Amino acid sequence: MLLAIDTATDRASVAAGGMNAVPAQESIVGARRHAAQILPMVEACLSRAGAGVQSLDGILLADGPGSFTGLRVGASVAKALARIRPVPVWIAPSLLVCAAGVGAGPGETVVAASDALRGDLFVAAYRFEGGGIVTLMPPTVRRLTDILAALPRTAHFCGPAAPKLGAPPTWPAAAELFGILERGCARLVPDIAAWEPDYGRPAEAQAKWEREHGRPLDHSRGHVP
């Protein structure tokens, strides 16, 4: 039994099931609801899958980039569950999770984008070929004008920020992590207790503090130039 979690955007999702079975799924909209609703969603999915925490064989987690608070919620739940039930934890970029839901054909480029605030976007580009996934552009922070200049307009655009690239918005779904793991494109976390998500950039509170004080925040995970 595998449990998948994605809390990188304002739409959180959870899925539970086996590799060859349709997973039980739950989702909510609203970033402020993540902390209160994620555990009930986990319990609901496991219950519908006929399992409990002690039945888990592994945890799949979208590790960002994305919302600082959202990623902290997902990471905290994954760490707590892995402490209760020591199982492997695999991670994959939330933008890859979003791109995996597009259903692009072999050789087609998929560009996933989400809002990074301050006029920037988190963006990544992938190509799904056979049983694997080729990363054309790893998750990064880019200005919208740079993205439009660098990427082919024939690409499939997806993600919460896709409207800025001329496409309808989409959101990552935790269930896509099953396929990403099956393709061998999820990374095993060697030490979940020491692991942290890929926030992509400092939190807004940290960025504001560093701008006001003109120096990096002590013990921060990055700083604003």
H helix or E strand, kind and range, residue 44: helix 34-48
Express each pLDDT in 104-154 by its tens digit.
888 889 999 999 988 899 999 999 988 899 999 999 998 888 887 777 778
The CATH number assigned to the domain holding 111 equals 3.30.420
Are 86 and 8 members of one domain?
A: yes
Are 128 and 24 members of one domain?
A: no
How many structural domains are present in the chain?
Answer: 2
35 SS3 class: helix
- The pLDDT confidence band at residue 163, using thresholds 50, 70 and 90, is very high
The CATH number assigned to the domain holding 90 equals 3.30.420.40
Are 185 and 80 members of one domain?
A: yes
With respect to residue 157, please indicate whether it lies within any of the assigned structural domains. yes
Are 137 and 57 members of one domain?
A: no
Are 75 and 125 members of one domain?
A: no
Domain that holds residue 123: 101-165
pTM of the model: 0.87
Express each pLDDT in 98-115 by its tens digit.
999 998 888 889 999 999
Are 88 and 106 members of one domain?
A: no
CA distances from 126 to 13, 45, 53, 103, 151 (A): 22, 29, 33, 12, 11
With respect to residue 221, please indicate whether it lies within any of the assigned structural domains. no
Residues 6+ apart with CB under 8 A from 149: none
